Homo-oligomer: A and B are copies of this chain.
C-alpha cells in the first residue's frame, strides 16, 4: 500500500460538508471514497486535514489515503480517473505519493481560512455563491481590527465553539487575523478576513466573523472581546456568519 496526498478544491454549496455521513452521498469525503472504492474494488478511507461545515468551500483542502494501484496504472492515471468521475464542483488539483507517515490531519501545522463579506448596494452576481452578501452596510474596519487583535495568541475559544457538547480541549492558537477591503475581480467592494491558526473549532471562524461584523456595525464595542473569551459561553459571542462566505485556503505542513 502506498500513501497518496491530494489537494482538493470544492464549491461546497451543494454538499453537507466534508465528512461522510451515514446513508448520505452528498459529502466531499463520501464522493471521493465512492470513486476510490470503484477504482480499487475495496473500501478506501480518505483522511482530510479537517472537516469543513455544510456549504463551506475549499481552495486548498488536503487529504491522504492508502492504496495499491491496480497493475499497470500510474498515479497520473488515478489522478485522471478521480477527476473524470468527480462532479464538476469537486476537483483534485494535485496527487502525489508521500511518506507512509504523512497523515493529513495529524501532520497539519496550521490552516488558513478566508471569509469574504460583500459590502456594496450592488450584488456581485458572479461571486454570489462564495461571498456573504452584506449589502449596503458600511463596516468600521479599524474597530474590527482592534477587536481581532484580542483573539491573536493562545486562548480558550469555548465561547466561539458551535458544538455545545464538545468534550475535548477548546484551546487554540490564532497566529494572525488580517482584515482588508478589496475590490473583487468585477470591481465591487468586499471585506476579506484571513484567519491563520493551528486549528479551529466547529463553526469557530463563522462565530468570530459574526462577532467582528457586530463590532464593525457598531452593535458591540471593540474592546469587549476579552470579556467574551473569559465567559466561556457561546451565548456571549456574536452570530454565526453564513457558511457560503468561508473558504479553506491552505493547510500548512511545515514543508
- 6 smallest CB-CB distances across A and B, nearest first, come from A88-B123, A88-B128, A11-B125, A91-B122, A91-B123, A9-B125
Question: In A96-129, which residues have CB < 8 Å from any B CB?
Answer: 121-126, 128
Considering the chains assembled together, what is the distance between the CA atoms of A120 and B96 in angstroms?
18
A93 at the A/B interface (Cβ < 8 Å)? Answer: yes
Flag if B186 contacts A59 (CB, 8 Å): yes
Considering the chains assembled together, what is the distance between the CA atoms of A93 and B187 in angstroms?
10
- Size of chain A's interface in residues, with CB distance under 8 A? 29
- List residues of A whose CB falls within 8 A of some B CB: 9-11, 57, 59, 79-80, 83-84, 86, 88-93, 121-126, 128, 130, 133, 135-136, 185-186
Chosen A-B contacts, 6 in total, with CB atoms closer than 8 Å, are: A79-B121, A80-B136, A86-B123, A88-B125, A88-B128, A90-B123
A6 to chain B, nearest CB (A): 11
Flag if B125 contacts A90 (CB, 8 Å): yes
Of the candidates A9, A86, A92, the one having the most CB atoms from chain B within 10 angstroms of its own CB is: A9
Known contacts A80-B121, A186-B59; is A11 also within 8 Å of B126 by CB?
A: yes
Given the complex, which residues of B lie within 8 Å of A57, measured CB to CB? 126
Considering the chains assembled together, what is the distance between the CA atoms of A197 and B123 in angstroms?
29
Flag if A92 contacts B126 (CB, 8 Å): no
* Interface majority SS (helix, strand, loop, mixed), chain A: loop
Q: Which of B80, B89, B122, B128 interacts with A125 by CB under 8 Å?
A: B89
Given the complex, which residues of B lie within 8 Å of A128, measured CB to CB? 11, 88-89
Flag if A185 contacts B185 (CB, 8 Å): yes
Given the complex, which residues of B lie within 8 Å of A185, measured CB to CB? 185
Flag if B9 contacts A91 (CB, 8 Å): no
Considering the chains assembled together, what is the distance between the CA atoms of A11 and B93 in angstroms?
26
Given contacts A88-B128, A93-B122, A126-B130, 4 further A-B contacts (CB under 8 A): A80-B136, A83-B123, A90-B125, A185-B185
Q: Which of B91, B92, B125 interacts with A91 by CB under 8 Å?
A: B125
A162 to chain B, nearest CB (A): 25
A253 to chain B, nearest CB (A): 21
Considering the chains assembled together, what is the distance between the CA atoms of A215 and B172 in angstroms?
57
Considering the chains assembled together, what is the distance between the CA atoms of A125 and B124 in angstroms?
18
Considering the chains assembled together, what is the distance between the CA atoms of A130 and B124 in angstroms?
14
Flag if B91 contacts A136 (CB, 8 Å): no
